[in-house]
Chains A and B, each alone.
Chain A
Amino acid sequence: MASLGALSAASAPAAPVLAADEAPNPWFDPSYVTDNWDTIVGHLGQHVRLTVGAVLLGALIALPLALLARRTRFLAGPVLGLSSVVYTIPSLAMFAFLAPFTGPLSATTVLIGLTLYTLVVLVRNFLAGLQGVPADVREAARGMGYGPARLFLRVDLPLALPAFMAGLRIATVSTVALVTVGVITGNGGLGQLIIGGFNSNFYRAEIVTGAVGCVLLGLAADVLLAGVERLLTPWTRAVT
């Protein structure tokens, strides 16, 4: 009955007491993070899995496409044109297009959608890298008796590596941001926290945790890939 008394007191015009005044809703709340650590790590894991999966799948499909587009020049136009159309489709619509085929509540929908986007970035950058390999260098390697496989691994790949890595970095960072939209299917990684907090009566600590987590994850992935690039291309450091 105490609550009823409080209610009638609140409705009295003399002392209007709002519920919002009583429940603090801070933007940053370390206790939220410590109390819900397991949930956060679970969503973080899904976020990482979806990102890594999409970028790896995208790279595996993009490399043959880029090689094909370089070999046959007339294919390069359609491949790039089609990829820019894919890029224009909003992610929410992309997931919606895929939902009838892969299930509206499955992570596959998100994975395929994200892979299509990474594909677009990667094909462009892979093609740019491959086209940047000087023709006479390839000619010389062929003259030295390099077969197609060795030509790719020993000549094309090292020379195109900076462009490849730039593509991978852009694709990874934008995928980390995009995973959040997967929340529409219930598989949004840290996006689940953002929308979950929004739906839990605008719980700011949860929203901020999700948002900051996404940004940190994206930047960490970028730094990691930059480190990998430095390790893989020791010769670029010797010049300067």
Chain B
Amino acid sequence: MSAFGEAFVYLNDPFNWTRTGGILDLLVQHLRISVLAVLLAAVLAVPTGVLLGRSGRGAGAVVVLSNVSRAVPTLALLTVLAVTPLGFSETGTVLALAAFAVPPMLTNTYVGFREVDRDVREAARAMGMGRGQLLTRVEFPLALPLLATGVRTAAVQVVATATLAALVGGGGLGRIINLGFGQQDQGVILAGAVLVAALALLTELLLVLLSAAVTPGPRRWPLHRVRAPRAGEPEPTSSGVPM
């Protein structure tokens, strides 16, 4: 039977889904790790991005952080954390994934808050808004599209990279692929690939819809605009690093 046939059979066997350590268990674990990592990264990155963006300082640090993080393999950080006293807990995986989710969120939040029109700020202040009101009623709505893009990019990246935890004894859907390669079973390999890719694409789709729903103002569907990169300036990233 071809690999596709075997993968189809594997995915159609209810036992493969419902047994202990089956697809559903792994899926729940995968999602739990991902959600925790994204939340942790958001708690760190968003306030920092807001602070830096409002003051307009720290552009260099943001650029350096996002460039250096691109050079560090996720697999390396996952492995290093797995051999620390944290060991094989989910904590190690969550920390490693959160570390890579910080740069896209930070960059987008930073750019979002920095690019708020100076005149708009001025006008809001002239209308008698305090600093708190300015933040929540003016700057936040205006920065929201980029903030949402940052969270989406980071979340999709985390869901994608959580797969790699399986290579160093962690859980998640990557286990199926790892198992397939270990057994040289092409059906299982392909079935795992379909599951992981589908989860990543679904996450992307869901978050695109969600960010479009929470963005105030006229509906603008996130079409990918092509922009020329400028050196030394933080630029919003709409697609993360492939992982």
Contact = CB atoms under 8 A, between A and B. Distances in A.
B75 A84 contact: no
B193 interface: yes
B10 to A, nearest CB: 13
Interface string A196-240: 011000101001101100110011001000000000000000000
Interface in B170-206: 174, 177-178, 180-181, 184, 186, 189-190, 192-194, 196-197, 200-201, 204
Contact of A96 (B72, B168, B177): B177
Interface string B1-20: 01110000000000000000
Interface string A161-200: 0110011001001101110110111000001001101100
B197 A90 contact: yes
Contact of B71 (A96, A104, A222): A222
B76 A211 contact: yes
Contacts, number: 180
Contacts of A170: 70
Interface residues of A, number: 60
A85 interface: yes
B168 A198 contact: yes
Nearest to B190: A100
Contacts of A176: 71, 73
A93 B73 contact: no
A131 B228 CA distance: 9
Interface of A: 76-77, 80-81, 84-85, 87-94, 96-97, 99-100, 104-105, 117, 120, 124-125, 127-129, 131-132, 162-163, 166-167, 170, 173-174, 176-178, 180-181, 183-185, 191, 194-195, 197-198, 202, 204, 207-208, 210-211, 214-215, 218-219, 222
